Structure 1
């Protein structure tokens, strides 16, 4: 999917240059790169917090701009096939790093994005206006994760909760797919959903 507001043609060599924040959302390829860099930042720096919120915020923007999980997956797969490197967001020492896109990272990054998109769909009122009528995620992905996200959204909105027993979510996974993920993985998925809800529909004032 190429977005209508792309200006000019894309120079393939720019993958070696860290795009400025103003460029991050000018095309679907830029959006895919921006999301992937933020995904890598969460993985490389260990977990949630502000790094996870940065990924979620970029995902929310991608949703609003009408992106789909499959469209952005294709962009990352095209980058992987080309063998080009992406400039990172910088490391803790202030130096930058370059890395290539690998298939397993693409799958996980796009799964994170799909969970963000589905969480937005589970909010009880319209929290993010989408500039497209195209479904943000495929029917299969929606079927697999909607119940998972809905359970967490219900706990967040109705009960004011910010965490759930992992076992509850494993049972939901088992009911839908016949399998459940490891507790640590399920906990990280839950954290992603709660982080998305906090970004799109904050319920408590910041201290």
Structure 2
């Protein structure tokens, strides 16, 4: 199953191309090898396209159009059920991201408070600092921002972390991924 926008679109595009190639086969009432080959290619492309999983609402809309053959046919019960499953999954994503974000933020704040409470030069200071920085990295790099407020907090934390060092590439990539996801309406 596809997991990103590029592969989702590629699966549906491949099906569209196979349909166009099939429709371009001359129809003289005979079943020719060219016809059978185009039909087989279209069928295989449809099987792959049916496994496409939308990761955003615009992709969901494209899948809806694909299932309705561009509005030329109705959506059967099986496809309606698949659409409902995809819609439920897309609606659940914001809550999953919120839970993960809140947990990662709380862990960072807890470890940062421990580090802040340790007097300079005391045993354990370096370990506490390292633990809080690891938690910050987890928050910034590994935890999707569930909304734009969280994204702003992530950007501010990344900027503060990189005050005395070059901005980390993985921070930039994670922030960019959040922006792209949120821009598409997937929270």
Work out whether the TM-score is over 0.5: no
TM-score, L = length of structure 1: 0.25
User: Whose radius of gyration is greater, 1 or 2?
Assistant: 2
Considering fraction of residues, name the structure with more helix: 2
